[in-house]
Structure 1
Amino acid sequence: MTKTAWVFPGQGSQAIGMGIDLLEVPAAKAKFEAAEGILGWSVPEICQSEEDKLSRTLYTQPCLYVVESILADLMREKGHQPDLVAGHSLGEYVALYAAKVLDFEQGLRLVKRRAELMDGAAGGQMAALMGFDREQLDREIEQTPDIVLANDNSSAQVVISGTPEAVEQVLANVKCKRGVKLNVSGAFHSPLMAPAAAEFQQVLESIPFVDASVPVLSNVDPTPAVEAAALKDRLMRQMTGSVRWREIMLRLPSEGIERAVEIGPGKVLTGLIKRTCPDIALENISGVEQLPD
């Protein structure tokens, strides 16, 4: 059997109209209804909103969680199972659901609170850098107060996070092919999220975790873990910690992974894995049509 990882994308992969084809699937319809009971609004409606409400953190994160969780359920219904799971930022919550660490409703309650807190964060800035000198970037971050490497996505693409002044300084001093400020409300995955993380901790502590059915590679610690306490601790640190996606990808071959299936909208993670681990076979499951037989 081919050893397979399921990977789940995070914020930035959302697309207007995502998940709409799932409305024809009875099991999916039931999940959408359950989600509406928890969120107080309809995921399919937001995903089709002409005002593009979907791009607002408050809505983006729960919508991605719901759609990706349903697709993971449908994969299992067709007899497919992962040998290992990982998710990028928000995607880690879906990975934990797919590994049976928590149930759908528990995961959604966590994501709802996370989205509210992150949407309400202010005073921070994030920027993506493409094509840069890693040593120069690391040195600049080290010498600049109030900034961190938030997303280490690949050797050629990262996201920095911090105060607007610090982000400006790094962008001005580091040579890169492209630097783009992100349209987000706060400095996600940085110490500036500490007040939000402290509030979130109260919710997280109230949700019981169980040991994972398959190993999980976490954003803040890309080593395989199945113990409930370790997975909860890693999630606790995720809001202020860096997303170490480059290391997660490099871990896949050493865990014997031969195939990675990106479950969710877009092909962001597939693209990153293709460039980082060219020997891994790749698949995308973004809707009903892509589901294997």
Structure 2
Amino acid sequence: MKKIAFVFPGQGSQGVGMGKAFYDQYEDVQAQVKKADELLDIPLSTYMFEGPEDTLTKTEHAQPALLLTSSIITGLLKERGVQPQMVAGHSLGEYSALVAANAISMDDALKLVQTRGRLMEEAVPSGEGSMAAVLGLDGESIEAVTQHVRDSGEVVEIANYNCPGQIVISGSAKGIELAVEQLKEKGAKRAMPLNVSGPFHSSLMKPASEKFQQTLETVSILDAEVPVYANVTAEPIRDQTRIFELLIEQLYSPVRFHETLEKMVSEDLDAIVEVGNGKVLSGLVRKVNRRTKTFAIQDPESLEAFIEWYKED
């Protein structure tokens, strides 16, 4: 049996039409999608399949849409006998990873991420928080700039360590503006604000995390059946109590995805498989280690191509 890891995309990977090819082909997927619409009390499938894009992109819609798509594909893979030896997700994708590891049910995860998305939207008034991607500068240099901006009284912090030369910062709109200017002066190839609705994975999300804890306490979390690499620590976890703690911290802590991928690559895997819409994470894997075999499964054709490889001797 081949040794593989599943990785699950986060917000930003959504797109109109996501999951529709699976919906059209599989009756049990149709049932799952209908159940999700009823559970969340929104026409999620309409947003996913028809848009409009600005409605799908809203955090409280994008998050369950991405989780539903990833979890549907995970279910189809498991039906075909594919079992990952470890899993990880990027930010929101951590919930898809926990569903794949049977630590949280898909129904509970859908409700959690809908609430998570709403609380993240509400945490900071629109226009007052922002994020920016920084390319071509090391973490130490970026941290020095963000500290300088914080000393001036604005909030700006590292939010995502994605891969070599790609780091995301998060904070107040003014803090991001100041940091972007200074990072360009420091030699960043690019420093560009992102089209997001808030300062995710920064200390400005702490009020949201406190409210979210109350929701999380109502959900049954089990020990994970396979190791789940946590965003906050980049370490594999299985314990239900630790999962609970880190999901709360995750809202205001940086996503250590670069470290996670390095550790996964060191596990002598046959492949790292991106499960869900888009190919963002496959690109990050290649930037961490070009020799690692990757698959991105987002439609029936890519599913079949992966299955064919998986069953080869």
In structure 1, stretches of 5+ residues that fail to align are none
- Partner SS state of residue 240, structure 1: coil
SS in 2 for 1:22: helix
SS at match of 2:6: strand
CA contact (8 A) 1:188 1:239 kept: yes
Q: Secondary structure at the match of 2:46?
A: helix
Work out whether 1:136 is the aligned partner of 2:141.
yes
Cα distance per residue 1:65-117 (max 9 Å; x no partner): 11110000000011100000000001000000000001111111111100111
Counterpart code for 2:83: Q
1:285 to 280, 297, 309: 297
The counterpart of 1:107, out of the listed 89, 106, 109, is 109
Q: Distance in 2 between matches of 1:252 and 1:230?
A: 20
Aligned length, in residue pairs: 293
Partner of 2:44: 43
CA distance in 1, matches of 2:50, 2:60: 14
- Structure 2 alignment gaps of length 5 or more: 308-313
Task: Please tell me whether the aligned partners of residues 170 and 176 of structure 2 are also in contact (alpha carbons under 8 angstroms).
Answer: yes
Structure 2 Cα separation of the partners of residues 218 and 150 of structure 1 = 15
Deviation at 1:133, TM superposition (A): 4.1
Name 1:9's counterpart in structure 2.
Answer: 9
> Is the contact made by 2:4 and 2:270 (CA closer than 8 Å) also made in structure 1?
yes
Taking only aligned residues, the RMSD between alpha carbons, in angstroms, comes to: 1.3
In structure 1, the residue matched to 2:210 is 198
TM-score (norm 1): 0.96
Deviations 1:155-198 (A, max 9, x none): 21111001112111111111311122112221100010111111
Q: Which TM-score applies when normalising by structure 2? A: 0.90
Partner of 2:33: 32
Structure 1 equivalent of residue 193 of structure 2 = 181
Q: State the partner residue of 2:120.
A: 118
**For residues 1-293 of structure 1, what are the structure 2 equivalents within 5 Å?**
1-24=1-24, 25-52=26-53, 53-121=55-123, 122=125, 123-145=128-150, 146-174=155-183, 175-292=187-304, 293=307
Whole-Å Cα distance in 1 between the matches of residues 279 and 112 of structure 2? Answer: 25
8 Å Cα contact 1:213-1:226 kept in structure 2:
yes
* Native 8 Å contact 1:19 1:44 kept in 2: no
- How far, CA to CA, are the matches of 2:141 and 2:221 in structure 1? 41
Task: For residues 135-165 of structure 1, give each alpha carbon's deviation from its aligned partner in whole angstroms, at most 9, with x where no partner exists.
Answer: 3212112232111100110121111001112
Conserved 8 A contact 1:32-1:42 = no
Identity of matched residues, %: 38
Over 3 Å counting, the alpha-carbon distance change for 1:185 and 1:264 in structure 2 is same
**Does the 8 A contact of 2:22 with 2:300 survive in 1?**
yes
Shift of residue 45, structure 1, vs aligned partner: 0.5
- Matched to 2:66, the amino acid is L
By how many angstroms is 1:224 displaced?
A: 1.0
2:107 aligns to what SS in structure 1?
A: helix
Shift of 1:26: 1.3
Q: Give the letter for the 1:27 counterpart.
A: D
Alignment correspondent of 2:311: none
- Relative distance call for 1:231 and 1:49 in structure 2 (3 A) is same
Q: Which runs of 4+ in 1 moved over 3 A?
A: none
Residues 67 and 96 in structure 2, CA contact (< 8 A), matched pair in contact too: yes
Give 1:254 deviation, angstroms: 2.6
